[in-house]
Chain A
Amino acid sequence: MSSIGTGYDLSVTTFSPDGRVFQIEYAAKAVDNSGTVVGIKCKDGIVLGVEKLIASKMMLPGSNLRIHSVHRHSGMAVAGLAADGRQIVARTRSEATNYDSVYGEPIPVKELAERVASYVHLCTLYWWLRPFGCGVILGGYDRDGPQLYMVEPSGVSYRYFGAAIGKGRQAAKTEIEKLKLGDMTCRQGVIEVAKIIYGVHDEAKDKDFELEMSWVCDESNRQHQKVPDDLLEEAKAAAKAALEEMDAD
């Protein structure tokens, strides 16, 4: 599928003759090679889940978080280059608190997504900057209900019912499409996301992984927080059981 953009891919400020900016497409590849990140919108909130590939057995579990809170009511899961992701999270947090100071209310999720997208896009406009090598799934719960957005390295942002980025995104999207999200609560959604992530993890190719999940829903009082430990354990157990069932076939 990928073509070589010889000569037209050296700078993000160069178009190719067929109208593509190759540097942005290459940035997207960095995202594609990262661990899977999944987000779904249930009827009472959002669930985010990350397949955090562990680089070394020496790492402390629970470190190197990939899901970050950006405001009381919203959180962001990052795929791709982790350092780039940190920049985006920092900027998003700053946008959220600035909006709150000026307008006196929490930033609507739609507005926040637009600001993130606009910042990511900004870095694709100048030759002395490189595009961000990460994609972001942003989930939040404001007075218009729960909303899920995804921002790609090109700076496009769309609103989704369910989104997935990273290595296992094709398989993950197929699984998400099978779910009846409109009827599901976040409690059920957490189990489903765990199953999906365990399902798309490639034992052969990749090393161990750690499952990181967060939610923002009615049950969490519309605050973005890590999924409670007991529910997380329940989800992991259900996911492993589902895997064994599949293997048994």
Chain B
Amino acid sequence: MDQKMDFNAPHSMGTTIIGVTYNGGVVLGADSRTSTGVYVANRASDKITKLTDNVYVCRSGSAADSQVVSDYVTYFLHQHTIQLGQPATVKVAANLVRLLSYNNKNLLETGLIVGGWDKYEGGQIFGVPLGGTIVQQPFAIGGSGSSYLYGFFDQAWKEGMTKDEAEDLVKKAVSLAIARDGASGGVVRTVIINSDGVTRNFYPGDQLPLWHEELEPHNSLLDILGAPEPMNI
């Protein structure tokens, strides 16, 4: 076990991040754990960051790298919006993200999911993983926790979901990943973006479904022996 913990080590967001399109918009979701080695530096971080009013990005990998990329893109998009005279499209936002990711691939370690809504193409999700590829997908998953979700999505994802179905899917998926991935944890945050605007939701542990290993054990030695209260020893 690590006796000496380096609290100044680079903060990494182990993370589970998800972006899903539905009939009318997108739902973005993420956990809230930022770790420095095994120490949880921030148990309630917000990994879903605003790029413009209608486009948000889910950040994973190095916390610093993903923040810097988001900041640059927000800055460029702001200028672009002023010049264009109307909100930027999701595609443009995603392209700016990937140009930074690709051109600085030797320096950066961040996987991003860009999601939003614009009046031309509706809700769109773009994955921009480590090397700086850009790929538009009906749904995208990322971060260390996503490894446990590939099979889940293969079965659970369907085209043309409603807003509530999509948000439930995201909530369930993030909480499944948190259950299995040590580097993901905390609360589940979701952001829903559609033509009406943006809605942020927050689901602490008690509002998330329990998975089977988290329930009371049956017929275990502890039951039989009558486990004492922790403070009564």
Contact = CB atoms under 8 A, between A and B. Distances in A.
Contacts of A143: 120
A105 B80 CA distance: 13
A110 B80 CA distance: 13
Interface string A93-104: 000000000111
Contacts of A110: 85
B47 interface: no
Nearest to A103: B92
Contact of A103 (B80, B85, B120, B134): B80
A104 B83 contact: no
Contacts of A75: none
Interface in A100-151: 102-105, 108, 110-111, 143
Contacts, number: 22
Interface range for B: 10 to 19
- The prevalent SS among residues of B at the interface is helix
A105 B89 contact: yes
B96 A103 contact: yes
Contacts of B84: 108, 111
Contacts of B134: 104
Nearest to A108: B84
A110 B84 CA distance: 8
Interface in B59-102: 80, 83-85, 89, 91-92, 94-96, 99
Interface residues of A, number: 8
Contacts of B95: 102-105
Contacts of B83: 111
A108 B80 CA distance: 12
B91 A105 contact: yes
Nearest to B121: A143
A108 B120 CA distance: 13
Contacts of B120: 143
A102 B100 CA distance: 10
A105 B118 CA distance: 14
Contacts of A108: 84
Interface of A: 102-105, 108, 110-111, 143
Interface of B: 80, 83-85, 89, 91-92, 94-96, 99, 120, 134
9 smallest A-B Cβ distances: which pairs?
A: A104-B95, A103-B92, A143-B120, A104-B91, A105-B91, A103-B95, A104-B92, A105-B92, A111-B84
Given A102-B96, A103-B92, 20 more contacts: A102-B95, A102-B99, A103-B80, A103-B95, A103-B96, A104-B91, A104-B92, A104-B94, A104-B95, A104-B96, A104-B134, A105-B89, A105-B91, A105-B92, A105-B95, A108-B84, A110-B85, A111-B83, A111-B84, A143-B120
22 contacts: A102-B95, A102-B96, A102-B99, A103-B80, A103-B92, A103-B95, A103-B96, A104-B91, A104-B92, A104-B94, A104-B95, A104-B96, A104-B134, A105-B89, A105-B91, A105-B92, A105-B95, A108-B84, A110-B85, A111-B83, A111-B84, A143-B120
